[in-house]
Chains A and B, each alone.
Chain A
């Protein structure tokens, strides 16, 4: 009887330890969330003992969660801040960043639009309401139809950070629920301007160079394209166990394929 009890307890303990070792909690950026969710699904399909929980809430929430040791991986669409590094130092935590993808936002116009280049300032001025007519950009007189993502999207968050310096989009912008919807509206509306993730570019719209730099995989990866940024997963020290395996999977060929499928730029 005692022997059976001991075996049961031993098995349960081993099970708990295995469960605990395979259990990974991911918190953070809503931009990185689709990558994390897809990767978690594919990883768990291939590793039946793995349990991965993925939550959003924002980059700041993820890093706070890492500092409070309530998550194993923090998704972030921005580098960790100095104040967060100070808190980490105070708590004996060593955040380590893994770049898992690049995010690039392309500025698109109708294919018949003759715009050859646009500056960062012009993009900001158009989207914040200071410029409303194509004549201000040296083109034929015509009202600019501004198309934007709704504020709940990661693409909007990226655009607001990279292009608008946190300013508000003008109230008369046409809000769309997806990258595909923006591309569709711009393709059909002469005089329109929009922005989409690099992965959603197609021949129905025209991508415009920003500050003379075109949005290509190379310029986004090198950071030369103005609206590009790395996407991170942070761990406490070098990743270990299942968390390491998951990050290695994301950085693998299969993982980078799903990165591109989610509309981001793969690292390879």
Chain B
């Protein structure tokens, strides 16, 4: 790096280099001072500007490398390797149910925080906390005491009713919001092309899909997943495989209800601005006669074939991106003879990412999930509670307020497929402000 410069002795350069290196070793807090020193040395002609840039770069990256390796003396190991992120969502929700002509309005919040930390080479732990649904006051009369006396009041039951929901509904006299473990997993990456995850894993680890037709995005399943990736020329291929535990029976005669998923897929850059991604998931539930709970009492084991496809066009319309996407599902279990299909497909237009004020995205999708196509209530809980035998549409408009804050309007209009009446349609509007940190 140090080449002899006319008029400057090597001895002076070694002294200067020694000073600079000493400052680099204790680089925390000294990066800006080193920048000033390097520029000064360049102005004086002791080193050239290229060498000054090299010194400034090495100073900054030396400290960051030490932190990345967990070797920085001034910071605890766990801080050096931990990264944190999360989001806070405030929601105003309006539910219109024709039955009883009711309109329900709720204010809700969702807080999620997540941490990733590198335990050792190739091994990482991740855990996240989130607010969740709760049952508040019991319905019926309760005795309350006040400063002026005692009496009775009728409690209001506020049940969000969804065990996987991360919403806290305002009410119950300013009750505290519950915070629960949202996910917790260990991730082992023995090779750059293989990853093994075990625990309560983040949604999407078990398979890739373009919509929440099958899996509500709040569902973080329990089990083990293996993800492989391999690039062949312009084609990125992947294989997802997972084993998920649905319940634990504590039974000597029956095995636990569970499911397995295998999903091969590929992504291909047709041009620099057009990408096509497709996959087929084979999902096998083992639940018939073994599970009764929030998802109902399945009458058969679901044997699902679920293709998914996404076509992304960057800067297609006046510089905005267009995505055409769809998920399809078919249950081929021998006991399911009718109403075995489902689909959700649509289009998204707008900025590729919402990264600042004025950025926007608009999405429209059509949804249909027949009665025997999928496990009840596993899909998006905002679409008729995630129920099967439903169809309808969803429209979403998102607008960036700042680089970290987004305003979102999400509208659903759903009805039953079979046995629908004039009283069964349900519509829902969610108005969200989301802040990511």
A82 near B50: Cβ-Cβ < 8 Å: no
B50 near A267: Cβ-Cβ < 8 Å: yes
B58 near A218: Cβ-Cβ < 8 Å: no
When distances are taken between beta carbons in the complex, the residues of chain A under 8 Å from B60 are: 79
Which residues of chain A in 122-166 are interfacial with respect to chain B, using CB atoms and an 8 Å cutoff?
151-152, 165-166
A-B contact count (CB 8 A): 90
When distances are taken between beta carbons in the complex, the residues of chain A under 8 Å from B318 are: 171
- Cβ of A222 < 8 Å from any Cβ of B? yes
What's the Cα separation between A102 and B56 when bound, in Å?
A: 13
How near does chain A come to B396, taking the closest CB pair, in angstroms?
21
What's the Cα separation between A232 and B70 when bound, in Å?
A: 25
When distances are taken between beta carbons in the complex, the residues of chain A under 8 Å from B65 are: 85, 88-89, 94-95
What's the Cα separation between A89 and B117 when bound, in Å?
A: 13
- Cβ of A97 < 8 Å from any Cβ of B? yes
- Cβ of B145 < 8 Å from any Cβ of A? no
- Cβ of B25 < 8 Å from any Cβ of A? no
- Cβ of A208 < 8 Å from any Cβ of B? no
A165 near B42: Cβ-Cβ < 8 Å: no
B54 near A99: Cβ-Cβ < 8 Å: yes
Known: A86-B68, A86-B118. A97 touches B57 (CB 8 A): yes
Give the contact-size bracket for chain B.
Answer: 35 or more
What's the Cα separation between A168 and B321 when bound, in Å?
A: 12
What's the Cα separation between A222 and B49 when bound, in Å?
A: 6
B54 near A98: Cβ-Cβ < 8 Å: yes
Which residues of chain A in 79-121 are interfacial with respect to chain B, using CB atoms and an 8 Å cutoff?
79-80, 82-83, 85-86, 88-92, 94-95, 97-99, 102
What's the Cα separation between A222 and B55 when bound, in Å?
A: 12
A97 near B61: Cβ-Cβ < 8 Å: yes
What's the Cα separation between A256 and B51 when bound, in Å?
A: 13
What's the Cα separation between A11 and B57 when bound, in Å?
A: 43
Number of interface residues of A (CB under 8 A): 39
Known: A90-B121, A230-B53. A85 touches B319 (CB 8 A): no
B68 near A221: Cβ-Cβ < 8 Å: no
Known: A67-B192, A85-B65, A86-B81. A222 touches B50 (CB 8 A): no
What's the Cα separation between A94 and B68 when bound, in Å?
A: 11
- Cβ of B39 < 8 Å from any Cβ of A? yes
What's the Cα separation between A86 and B83 when bound, in Å?
A: 10
> Which residue of B53, B67, B70, B272 is within 8 Å of A102 (Cβ)?
B53
- Cβ of B122 < 8 Å from any Cβ of A? yes
> Which residue of A85, A169, A223 is within 8 Å of B53 (Cβ)?
A223
Residue of B nearest to A84 (CB): B68
- Cβ of A268 < 8 Å from any Cβ of B? yes
Residue of B nearest to A232 (CB): B57
A268 near B61: Cβ-Cβ < 8 Å: no
- Cβ of A246 < 8 Å from any Cβ of B? no
Known: A85-B68, A99-B54, A152-B272. A80 touches B61 (CB 8 A): yes
Residue of A nearest to B320 (CB): A168
Residue of B nearest to A231 (CB): B53
When distances are taken between beta carbons in the complex, the residues of chain B under 8 Å from A92 are: 121
> Which residue of A67, A224, A267 is within 8 Å of B48 (Cβ)?
A267
How near does chain A come to B16, taking the closest CB pair, in angstroms?
17
**1/0 contact trace for B106-147 toward A, CB 8 Å?**
000000000000100110000000000000000000000000
Extra contacts besides A97-B58, A222-B39 (8): CB < 8 Å: A85-B61, A86-B83, A94-B65, A165-B356, A221-B53, A230-B57, A267-B49, A267-B51
A/B interface sample: 6 pairs, CB < 8 A = A85-B61, A90-B121, A152-B272, A221-B50, A223-B56, A268-B50
